[in-house]
Structure formats: structure tokens, C-alpha cells
Structure 1
Amino acid sequence: MDIAQLYRVFLKHPDVCTDSRKVAKDVIFFALKGVSFDGNKFASKALEGGAAYVVVDDPSVVSDQDDRYILVKDVLKTLQQLAAYHRQQLKLPVLAITGTNGKTTTKELIATVLNRGYNVLATEGNLNNHIGVPLTLLKLRPEHQIAVVEMGASHPGDIKELVDIANPDYGLITNIGKAHLEGFGSIEGVRKTKGELYDYIRKHDGILFVNSDDPTLMEMSEGISRVTYGTDTSATFYAQIIYARPMMLSFRWRQVSMPHDISTHLVGEYNLPNALAAVAIGRFFDVATDGIMEAIAEYTPTNNRSQLTQTDRNTLIVDAYNANPVSMKVALDNFDKIRTDLPKVVILGDMKELGKESLQEHKTILNILVEKSFDKIMLVGKEFGAATENLTSQRQNTLLFESAQDLEEYLEQHPIDQSIILIKGSHSVHLENIASLC
């Protein structure tokens, strides 16, 4: 069965599923394979659960007596090809977003703004990889007017693979920093891979949205049609921080000369480019200024991304979804700037997937901590453990824990009270559980 034929089946059954445990009536089940699982083995179970068809690539599971089995050479490639074919049929504008830090927050802000004028499909959660992007595109319906698609990468070529599927008309890279170095090999590998989005937009005469404060992005986007945003008046959309509140981002933005002030629920000055990108894209697509202002002012971050939480005992800034050297540094710098009479407590978890640079990058973070005047520092993980040779002797207020569970046990016996606490670390460290103890 070729893609055109499969597409006709998809139009009759437009809901797809890749998890046999979540099969619903009339879906098409794609039997994906992974390191520790083989979806082909669950094809019959999916049919029993109500699936209209199952797409498999193992001939041994196909029943000659059942025409609901669709045998293909490679299920994943077929899923990707179907998504690309579907996107091409609908021909609506697609904005692709990638970057080392802030891409999910930026995606959410942009989608929230565009929703004030359009029917928007946006990536849900972190479905931003070689499986998530196709699944997102297959949710497109004729009533949608624009799609905002997040793209993640951990190896060279990842973004090229995703843009070839999504065929974006517009592109945005939030920034380029040290993350997933285990897969990329170097910061140059990160730059080249993220730049695959720019390469695609250049080749297909699309339009970029570029942070003019970032010289790397400005250089990479040279010669491509672009809309700029930043803190310099040379940008198409420019802004400045308003220091009206101690923790939340407030800023004044302008297009030409008219000033507009926004107070957000976002923690930290480092969120300014994310919010300003949403302003620029909203205005580019003619969303009313009042709608843009309201959308950004009302947006509240979720999923442990720079969330400000007030408990009975403490004020928490929970940023435990992910961490890399760049995001860790800006989080610490921002936390240091917060004006408060409360004691400041820092809880940091390991930064994962940094490969051979991990030890040095963790030492760099420790050196930053030595320079700051935080009242208490709690470090979690073996990577920080390997880097703390001299820190604990220099700072009597520093504690090291091998795991989040060890820290949980400590906090149950030694609770923190009347403090402001930053919780930051890679998702796999599981610091999100710490918040309930503070």
C-alpha cells in the first residue's frame, strides 16, 4: 500500500495511536519498535481494543484472513511519510521552533497569542522528536489555520529530518547553547544541527523570526528574509525590562514608536526573548495588539518550567523540567538579582547528556555558586558530586546528596521555612518531587 492509498484510509480514520494501551475505537494503530519494545506484538491486541487498522512491518504477525493489517517496510518511516503527505494536502502555514533553551515556553506563548486570531494547532507537551512531530502534524484538520510545531534535537541531522516532514514556512531558533553534547559532540555540532532549520527556510524562501540580541543567530540568518526582535531599537520589535516587581517579568515593547507595557506570570528576565518573540509573531500575523497583550499577561507556565509557587512555608521557583549550562547560569543569575529579605536557598540537580564536558561544566556552575551569596546550597547527583572537591570546604552552607530521594529524606527531618527556593535540574533527576516538601 503506497502513501496515497494509506492517506485515503487515514481520511476515514483520522485518529492515530502508537500505544496499544491507549487504543480507542476506529484509530489507526502504528506498531512502532524501540530498544525494549516491539509494537508488532501488540497489533492483534490493538484490533481487539477497537482499532480500525494496524500498520505493521513484521509479516509474521499479519493474518491473511484479516484485511485490517497494513504491512509496510518500516512503520516509523510510513508514519513520517503520512504526516508529510497530510501536511502538504492542507497547505496551511507552519511555524517551526527549535533551540537549546526556552523553545517550549516560546511555543506556548506564540500559540496563546495566535489563538486570539486563529484556530491554531500547536505541539502538545514535548512531542517534538521524530515520532512526536509526525503525530502533531497528523492532528491537523481542515478547520486549523496555522500550526506551531516544536522541534527538539539531540544528534546531528535531527532537525533536517523534522523540517523535511513538517515543511515549515516560518522558523524560529530561540538560542544555541551547550546541551545534549553527548550526542552532538560539540557546541559547533549544536549550531549546525539547529541551523538546519535556517537552511531549510533559506532554500524554500521562507521567513525567520530572529532575536537580534544574539550575534550567532543574526550571522546565521544573514541573507534570509527575517523579522527581528530584541532590546536594541534597530530591531523590528524591541523591548526593555520594567523593574516593577521583584520576581515576575514586566516589559515595555514597541513597534516603531508606540509603547506597550506587559506584566507577565513569567519568572526571570531570561524570559523576555520568549515573550517578545510571541509579540513579534502575533503582530506579523495581524493579531490585534490588545489580544497579544492579554494573551501574554494571562499566560501561566506549567510543567515545572519557571513556575512560581507560594506554599504555606516558602516561595518556590521550580524549573526542574530540564537543565544545561546556559539555562542553569541564567537561572542562578536571575535568582541572585531577586530583591528579598527572605533567605535564598538553591537546590540544583545534575545537568545530563553533557558527555566529556560534564565535569568541567558542573565545576563552572560551582564556581558561579561560590561567587554568589546564597544562604544555603543543596546539590543532587553524581555529576555534582564529582565536581565538588573544594566547594564544600569553602562553603559551610553547601550539602551534597547522591539522589533526589536522599534529599527528600533530609528535608523531611530538616524542613526549610520562610525562604525563597530555586529548584533547578535535569528532568531525570526528579527534583519536581522536592517541591511538595517545601
Structure 2
Amino acid sequence: MNLNYTYADLADLLDAEQTQPYKGEIKAVAYDTRKIYHAEALAFFALHSEKDNGHKYVLDAYEKGVRCFVVDERVELPDDACVLTVEDTLEALQQLAKKHREQFAYPVVAITGSYGKTMAKEWLYSLLKDDYQIVRSPKSYNSQIGVALSLLEMSHEHNLAIIEVGISEPDEMEILEDIVDPTLGIFTGIGAAHQENFESEKQHVKEKLKLFKHSNFVFAQEEYASPFRRAKINVEYPSTPAKELAKLAATPFKSTLENCLECALFLGRQPEDMEPILKQLPTVASRMEILIGKKDNVLINDTYSLDLHALEQAVNYLLSLKEKSQKIAVIDLTLSSEEEQRKIEQFIANYPIDKVYYIREEILPETLDLVENAAILFKAKRKSFIKKEIENFKEKKHDTWLEIDQSAILENINHFRSKLHPNTKLLCMVKASSYGSGDVKMAHLMESAGVDYLGVAYADEGVDLRKAGIQSPIMVMNASESAFQEIIKNELEPAIFDIPQLEAFIGSLIRFKKTNFPIHIKVETGMNRLGFSEDDLDDLFELLQAQPEVNVKSVYSHLASSDHPSSTFNHKQAKRFAQYKEVFTEKLGGGLDFHLLNSSGILNFPEYQYSMVRLGIGMYGYIEKQPGLKASLAWYTRISQIKIIQKGDTVGYGQNFTAEKEMHIATLPIGYSDGIHRVLGNGKGEFFLQGKKVHTVGNICMDMCMIDVSDIPCQKGDLVEIIGANNTIFDLAKASGTIVYELMTSISKRVERIYLQN
């Protein structure tokens, strides 16, 4: 958020009784102390829920640095706390959101329905972002609280808003319609979610449509024509252009996409401009995987939990796939108690699913192989055997893939945050395709985690992130002169390391008529790579003070041995950096950020945090001998073929291996072009098959390698662990004669990335 209210403004907007005035501005609001990382200029709303009361946490918020509180109960806080008392804190938050939304005249597109809202929001954003400066609901913020928080993200920097809106009971929508006041709308449709709280589907639709009673136009499927007609709401149904465009996208959710396309066409987007976007339409991160199956089936893989709430969400997804008329559920009960099985069967009986397979032994029915043109839900607990069986139903089986555990990464980020002072900012590095894990996907994850800055090595990485919708500040560590135009155009923030580079960048800014453009100054403290030295400072300050085109946001340097806490050289560097800080503060004034520490530095030298730190490899959990960090990567492949060779036979290029006895040799579809270094050949490489160690045989080839499986009963298609629970990334890096950084960044882009999220 980037609000701009004084304490007096807030008190007036909320009609609140107030204690002593709060001196600073209110830039943002919060209601969950677990998500407070920077408390400066923050107002804490003590909200109520069925299970909890936010007033219990006001002291926690105070200890994190919050000084402005909105409450509807008496609270005990230190004397310097500024308290606004209202009748109802949720209503106060919504009132603030309503008043804030009224400041902006640009269009607001509201999206509702009982499924596909977040998907529609992200797709519409992708279709429109090249023509509009868009603010959109974070994540799936569509509740009474979430809608209010989404509206508070609106600012004068935007010219279009996309707001997701959901309800679970009657009479909720009228409140939300009043605060959102949408100009346009998208209605995704009605499924089974929250249906139990409404008398009928007819009433459910009627309640949803209250959101659009003052909208200019709404985009929906024609099957809902009658409810719209009764409600006297102007509605547009997908035209032929929208239907034809939707065919370009590889998604089973065609009806939702058609609504988005019709809205985008209405807002002026041209079909030819949207065609390339549709061919790489973003997927919406969720617990469920939507897969293209054999025989024109769509597969929903939700083998993560089997409680009734998770089951309801999964079944709702299944029933929302209108393109597939046949709906099938495969539910594994082998890990469930008799009481759990009874409840699940009773629950499923209420849904119009064509066929339900209840699995009570670890084998799937043969008739499932005959299913065609259907939507198939696989639902099970996390340790279910079905996880592996789903591979047999996919249209294309990937034989080598890298699993990236996003939940582990978020836990690691929070682990490092726990080591920081409350006001220390966090810059997360996503250079080198986020250390091989995928730059765009990780950048979205970092943004959702609320990090302050993203860092990339080169401008083209930052440009790709902007094209993918990343709005966070992005620092470019190696800003070459040839990339200045793209840096300026995409509002990236370059690191400047010498006078000629700075002069050239200022020249580019002058040509583009830009002033006050953010830059970051790299100073030399002992690494002897890039950076200004003490001798350069007079010329640097003379240039900075004479040129209004640039605005220094931060000053930074690197420790040469941050992973060696006993090294005295780190302290020498830190002392030199402190001297730089003193000079820059004197010459340029306050408000600058200073940062010296990377991941290891955060852990080993907490006294040198300053106002910002840079987190890289630590996000992934790969700092040795550091408790509390979780490994986030797992790398697997499958056996392509098994051969029996005789004594005297050779294996692979160069005939570097000769069998001394009869052996079973398995070929794996992974080689040095995938990131398996050639040095791992001839027995130096160790992988794991069925939990047992296996060794390489012969040289590593470009696309293949061979392993000895003589002592392990196995077959084609069996899983082989390259990195995982048995073979850590540290083990593989050591065997490869390299470091974890190089190993991670050398995993080829042709290795499929699968993102896991709990």
C-alpha cells in the first residue's frame, strides 16, 4: 500500500474517538501481526473473527513498532500509542476503503462467482497490462476484509483496477458493492461452493449479481441470461472473436477465459495483440495441479489432503469444468479411518458427480484407463500411492524434472526475517533465473511474501519480470550502457559503480526527459570487483548534487568472506563501509538505505545489518550447518532402459568402463546438457534408486548417463533421485567439484520445473 493519510485524516474518515495525535503519516494498514515486517507509518486494525479477536494482539503489534491502533474495545497500551476507537473495526476498515476508492475516477472491474475468480483476475491482468497501469487484488483477497485491503492498494499511479469479490452468505454482497462501486464486471458462474448457505442456486446467483447493480456492463456466459434480465443489469456475452481467441490457450477453463477476453476487447485491446499472450497464459498458483491427460481428459491432481474443506474445494473445481460434461472423482481411502470414510462418502453423495471411484486397496480400477473426454479429480492424502499413478494418465510424461517447494522457500524467508531488526528491509535476489528455479515464478512468490526489493544481474532479467506483471522495485546489479533505454522504460533501478557509467546514464535520462530516477551506488570495500573508491567520492558527489536526473536510493557493498565468521577481513570491510555511510549521509542527507550483507552475512554478522540486507541462496535453504532452513529443491529422472552386459563389455563414449562381470546397466535421460557435470562419470556420481545408492558407469553423455543397478530389482520407468532426501545438493556439489551456486544455476532450462505449494 502507499496511502497518504495523516492521523487526523484517519480519525475524521472513521468518525473515531482519538487519544493523543500520531505524528507521522499512515502509509498502510494491517490486521495480522504475523505479517507485520515494517511497522513505520502503519495503522493496526484489531478485527474480530469467529475464532479469534485481534485486540489480543495489539501489544504484539506495538512491540513490532506499530504506534497507531484502530479498536472497538478497551485496550491497554503504553502511553505513546495512538488509539482510535470506533463502533466496529471491520466496518471502519470498509469505510476507509470506500472513502479511498472514491478518490479515483478510473474504471474498476469487479469479478465474482463461486469459482475461477482469481484465475479470471490474473488472466484479465495479463491481457490488459500492456495498455493499462493496473492495480489488482493481492492473491485471492475477496472476503469482507480482503476486498477492503485490495481497494486500499489503489493509487494515482494506476488507471485501472481489477478487484476480486466473494461471498459465502446472503446479504454480504450489498456491503461490498457499496465500497467497490464497480464500473465493469465479470461473472464466472455458480458452482457448489457455499451453496449450503443459500436456499437455492437461483438465490445464490441473485445474491452474487447484487455486485453489479450499478455497473455499466458485465461479461458472463449466456446461460445466465435470465438472472441478468430479471436483475435489469446490462450484460455482454462472449462474441465470436472472444471464442476464437480462447481456442489459442491451453487451458480447460475456456468459459472463464472467454469472459476475460470479451472484457479486454471492450476495453480496447486488439485481438492480434492478445494472441501471443494467450499462447503463454499464466497459471494460477494453487495446491491443485491441472494437467492435460490422455484421451482428451483433464486431470485435477489434489493429492495433498483429504479433509472435508479441501474436498469441497477440489469438488468445486471439478464441477466448474463446463467444457467436460463427464465428471469423475477418484478418492483414495486407504489411509483414512472408517469414520473418515463414512463422512467422505456422505459428503460426496450431495454432489452431481457422474462416477466416483473409492479406492480401498493400493490399485486403481482398470476401467479408469477407458475413460475419455472427462474431467477426473484425483483426491488423496499426502502419502497416497496415487501420486505416482497419476503419471500414467498424463498426455506427456516428463522423464526429468526439478521440484521447487515454494512453502519451504517462504519458511526460509521468514527464518531470515526473524534474524532482522523490525525496520530492516529485505532485497531478494532472483538473478540467474532465481538460481535456476525460474525467475518469474519466484519473483511472484517473493512479491506475494511482501519483500521490499528484487535484485537481478542484468537488465533483460528485469524486463522479463516487468512483462510478467512484477511491480516491486527491481535493482539491476550489472547495468550496461546498452541496456539503459530498457532500464528507464521499465522503471528498473541500476547499480552505478563508476563516473563514466553514471555520466552515460544521466545522458540517457536527459534524452528521455526523466528526473529523480532511482539509482544505487556500489562502493569498493575490499572485493576489488566493481565500485567507487574513496578517491572517486568528490567527483561522485559533485555530479550527484549537480544533476537532478538521479536520486540515490541506496549505497551497498559485498563482504568477501561472509560464510567465514572467523575471518577478520569481514570486519575490516565493515569498518570501511561504515566510513562510506558517514560520508554519504553527510553529503546526501538522510533517507538512504545501506546494505552490506548477503544470506551468510545475515546469519554470521547481524551487527552489520544497516537498513537493508540481500537474501539469495539462503531462500532455498542451502547454507551448510544452519538449523532452521529447509531444502527446497528435489531433482528426479526415470529409467529409460535396462541392459544386461557381460564381462568384457564396455559402456559409453571412449570405452572408459569395462565390465568385470555380468551387470545390469540402466540408462537415464539426463546428461551434461541438463546440468550433470561430466566429472560425475565413471563411478564418481552417486544417485538413489528405491532408497539405495547407485553409481554412474562410463562417461556422462550430453543427454544421457548410465548407472549400475545390478543389485537392485528395478524396471523401466522407475524413479531415480538426483537431489532429494537421500542425496543432498551439498553431496552432489561436492562430488561435482563445485559449489551449490554453480550447480543450481547449471540445471538446464529444458528440465521441467514443477512448483509445489501447500
TM range, normalised to the smaller chain? 0.5 to 0.7
Q: 1:49/1:76 Cα in 2 relative to 1: closer, same or farther (>3 Å)?
A: same
CA distance in 2, matches of 1:324, 1:408: 18
CA-CA distance at 1:332 after TM superposition: 9.1
The residue that corresponds to 1:247 in the other structure is: none
Q: Would you identify which runs of 4 or more consecutive aligned residues in structure 1 move more than 6 Å? A: 8-11, 392-397
- Contact 1:20–1:42 at 8 Å: present in 2 too? yes
2: distance between equivalents of 1:168 and 1:10?
Answer: 35
TM-score by length of 1: 0.68
One-letter identity of the residue aligned with 2:272: D
Name 2:330's counterpart in structure 1. Answer: 347
Partner of 2:324: 334
Residues of 1 paired with 2:67 and 2:163: CA distance? 28
Residue aligning to 1:282 = 264
Q: 2: distance between equivalents of 1:208 and 1:178? A: 22
Q: Deviations over 1:383-428 (max 9, x none)?
A: xxxxxxxxx999899xxxxx943x724448x85653339xxxxxxx
Residue matched to 1:58: 73
1:348–1:86 distance in 2 versus 1, CA, 3 Å = farther
Which range moves more in the overlay, 17-26 or 302-311? 302-311
What is the aligned partner in structure 2 of residue 29 from structure 1?
44
Query: Any idea what the Cα deviations from partners look like across 1:218-237, whole Å, max 9, x if unmatched?
Result: 5346x43333315xx6xxx5
Aligned partners of 1:117, 1:219: CA distance in 2, in Å?
32
Distance 1:305 1:95, change over 3 A: farther
Tell me if 1:408 matches 2:383.
Answer: yes
Comparing 147-156 with 277-286, greater Cα deviation is found at 277-286
Q: Work out whether residues 173 and 208 of structure 2, in 8 Å CA contact, stay in contact via their aligned partners in 1.
A: yes
> Cα–Cα, structure 1 residues 346 and 208, in superposed 2: closer, same or farther, change >3 Å?
closer
Structure 1 counterpart of 2:275, one-letter code: M
Q: Which residue of 2 aligns with 1:353?
A: none
2:40 pairs with 1:40: no
Please state if 1:159 is matched with 2:181: no
- Per-residue CA deviation, residues 324-372 of structure 1 (Å, 9 max, x unaligned), is 76743464973969xxxxxxx953589xxxxxx956434x31xx127xx
Flag structure 2 segments of 5+ consecutive residues without an equivalent: 1-10, 303-309, 334-345, 370-378, 396-406, 408-754
1:417–1:90 distance in 2 versus 1, CA, 3 Å? closer
Q: Does the aligned pair in 2 maintain the 1:121–1:148 contact within 8 Å?
A: yes
Q: Return the letter of the residue paired with 2:330.
A: I
Displacement of 1:307 in angstroms is: 4.0
Distance 1:155-1:83 versus aligned 2 partners, 3 A rule? same
2:393 aligned partner: 419
- TM-score (normalised: structure 2): 0.41
Residue 262 of structure 2 aligns with an amino acid whose one-letter code is A
- The residue that corresponds to 2:229 in the other structure is 219
Shift of 1:172: 2.0
Contact 2:133 2:158 in 1 (8 A): yes
Displacement of 1:289 in angstroms is: 3.1
The one of 3, 13, 38 equivalent to 1:3 is 13
Equivalent positions of 1:193-208 (< 5 A) are: 193-201=207-215, 206-208=216-218
Closer/same/farther in 2, CA of residues 32 and 329 from structure 1, 3 Å limit = closer
Q: Which has the larger radius of gyration?
A: 2
Q: Structure 1 228/395 Cα, relative in aligned 2: closer, same or farther at 3 Å?
A: closer
Aligned to 2:273: 291
Any idea what SS the aligned residue of 1:90 has?
A: coil
- One-letter code of the match for 1:293? E
1:139-154 equivalences under 5 Å are: 139-154=153-168
Match of 1:304?
Answer: 286
Greater helix share, 1 or 2? Answer: 1
Q: How many residues align?
A: 354
**Which residue is equivalent to 2:747?**
none
**Contact 1:128/1:151, CA 8 A, preserved across alignment:** yes
Conserved 8 A contact 2:14-2:92: no
Alpha-carbon offset, residue 127 of structure 1:
0.8
> Using a 3 Å threshold, how does the CA distance of structure 1 residues 48 and 416 change in structure 2: closer, same or farther?
closer
CA distance in 2, matches of 1:10, 1:324: 49
Distance in 2 between the 1:55 and 1:349 partners? 47
Which residue does the alignment assign to 1:103? Answer: 117
Residue 29 of structure 2 corresponds to which residue in structure 1?
A: 16
Residue type at the aligned position of 2:355: L
Take 1:289 and 1:16, find their aligned partners in 2: how far apart are those partners? Answer: 39
Query: In structure 2, do the counterparts of structure 1 residues 38 and 417 end up closer, same or farther at CA, with 3 Å as the change threshold?
Result: closer
- Paired with 1:208 and 1:218, the residues of 2 have a C-alpha distance of 9
Larger RCO of the pair (alpha carbons < 8 Å, separation 6+)? 1
Corresponding letter in the other structure for 1:225: N
Task: Please give the root-mean-square deviation of Cα atoms over the aligned residues, in Å.
Answer: 4.3
Aligned to 1:384: none
Task: Provide Cα deviations, 1:50-100, integer angstroms capped at 9, x if missing partner.
Answer: 22412122223355x235222222111111100000000123211111112
Question: Which residue identity is paired with 1:228?
Answer: Y
Cα distance in 2, alignment partners of residues 9 and 144 from structure 1: 29
- Conservation of the 8 A alpha-carbon contact between 2:184 and 2:217: yes
